[in-house]
Amino acid sequence: MSEVSTTNILEMINLTKRFPGVIALQNVSLKVKAGTVHALMGENGAGKSTLMKCLFGIYSMDEGKILLDGTEVSFANSKQALENGVSMVHQELNQVRQQNVMDNIWLGRYPKKGIFIDEKKMYEETAAIFKSLDIKIDPRSKVASLSVSEMQMVEIAKAVSYHSKIIVMDEPTSSLTEKEVDHLFTIIRKLQSENVAIIYISHKMEEILKISDEVTIMRDGQYIATKSAKELTTDEIIKLMVGRDLSQRFPEKINEPEDVILKVTDLTAETNGSFSNVNFELRKGEILGIAGLVGSKRTEIVEALFGIRGIKSGTIELNGKIVQNQSPKHAIKNGFALVTEERRSTGIYSDLSISFNSIIANLAQYRKGLFLSESKVHEDTKWVIDSMKVKTPSQKTPIGSLSGGNQQKVIIGRWLLTKPEILLLDEPTRGIDVGAKFEIYQLINKLAADGKGIIMISSEMPELLGVTDRILVMSNGRAAGIVSSKTTTQEEIMRLAALY
């Protein structure tokens, strides 16, 4: 942590923001000092991202004012914010995936040589930023070929390219491994040394206490407190966030694994360089974790099980019968469900209602002649909202206007409506606050207790150890071992993850 500055580079004073049917922010204030990391914490729906979107010009505030370096500002759009030294690395990455890395960084402000784009200069400037941040990515690589963590690094480099005074990072480590988190923290400390202020939104307590100078807590759209990170503990942060003590991070396990429900034998991907000869079993009522470093092909395995990726060889047996999930449609019919890692790009229809997003995976069940049964749609959407504890003014609210965690709850509810036998969860609590995480863990536990077979990918080691029964460790596309969650250690898992 840095030596805390005494100069406020940013003051947000008594901000209020209303949406139809809900007050998202109510008289919220925030003061951020130059050259510091200021953490912004709160449960999903607390208003953190909304506050930052008001700063960044995505939303207009209804009341209040913003001072940047002592001067009142009100950005009409994100372009104005960027031009005035305010950048934001969004939790949901908005990149043009079919273009290359340097195009994404300089989009809308290409260096020119006469009337033409100066490709050489663009490459050199991108390479120079990458070198200064120790980012090892070819500027000419297509964004679609990058991992989620690499895409995130590109976004941070883009923020730096604007010579920003303030960089907002919204859940920057949600898809990063421990090593990549360390690299990010090195970048943050370098930016601090250059007097850049970082506003850091995260639900990861250990990270917050490690990297932050000050922490502001929000709850239900209101300001609760700002404290020095040195004065805080994890328990104190949780109590301020949720307004109550949360003595357990993980619920008591109630599931009892039974007979084998899913058997995977010598599974090899159609694509070279992906996973090969993977073997494992999943029992009815079991929660099987998948651990591994980025690039270990964890996601590729669950996508192959769900029919998104082709299989070159090997078999998948469900209840003793070989199944061939040649597409997601086949997989759903065969009792598989997949909650994807990238919620925005592969999980939701952002502009459409919660109701639509709840029923879309199970549409045939709602047909009544040529039409949909409105009463059945309403009933099942209500079940999703109530059982997942989704904070929303109505079923008709566009899902894109919800917080990230509430979006994720709708997606999980959607798949539960298909009544799957095998539930595949890829980073299911990514971007979800500590209170909501506990609810998701309880739900996963209950589903397993009801006899579902659950496969869960997570980059959070404590989560894998606290929620799962066994953990399959992947290393460079190969199964390095399967360990018992009760008896293994983080060190053993890391050793296996680096085996190949």
The C-alpha angle 94, 96, 99, rounded to 5 degrees, equals: 150
pLDDT above 70 coverage of the chain, percent: 96
What is the arithmetic mean of pLDDT over 484-496?
A: 90
How many whole angstroms separate alpha carbon 446 and alpha carbon 255? 7
**Secondary structure in 3-state letters for 216-285:** EEEECCEEEEEEEHHHCCHHHHHHHHHCCCCCCCCCCCCCCCCCEEEEEEEEEECCCCCCCCEEEEEECC
Q: How many whole angstroms separate alpha carbon 363 and alpha carbon 377?
A: 9
Phi, psi torsion values for 267, nearest 5 degrees: -70, 125
CA 92/CA 108 separation, integer angstroms: 20
The CA-based dihedral angle spanning residues 464, 468, 470, 473, taken in that order and rounded to the nearest 10 degrees? -30
The upper half-sphere exposure of residue 222, i.e. CA atoms within 13 Å in the direction of its Cβ, equals 5
Is it true that 8-242 and 260-497 share their CATH fold? yes
Q: What is the model's pLDDT at position 268?
A: 96
Question: What is the structure's pLDDT at 2?
Answer: 47
Q: Spell out the alpha helix ranges (H) of 8-99.
A: 48-55, 78-83
- Provide the mean pLDDT of the chain: 89
pLDDT digits (tens, 9 = 90+) for 341-372: 877 777 788 889 999 999 998 887 888 878 88
CATH number of the 8-242 domain: 3.40.50.300
Single-letter amino acid, residue 445: N
**Sign of the C-alpha dihedral computed for residues 350, 325, 480 and 456 taken in this order:** positive
Query: Which tokens is 66 given?
Result: 């913003």
Domains of the chain by residue range: 8-242, 260-497
- When pLDDT is averaged across residues 252-260 and rounded to a whole number, the result is 93
- Report, in angstroms and rounded to the nearest whole number, the Rg of the chain calculated over CA atoms: 23
Q: How far apart are CA 440 and CA 344, in angstroms?
A: 19
Residues 151/89, Cβ–Cβ less than 8 Å: no
Beta bridge partners of 313: 268
Provide CATH code, domain 260-497: 3.40.50.300
DSSP code at position 5: P
Mean pLDDT of 398-406: 84
Q: Is the pLDDT of residue 120 over 80?
A: yes
Percentage of the chain beyond pLDDT 90 is 56
| Ramachandran angles phi, psi of 438, nearest 5° | -60, -40
- The pTM (predicted TM-score) of the whole model is 0.60
pLDDT tens profile 281-317: 999 999 999 998 777 899 999 999 999 999 999 999 9
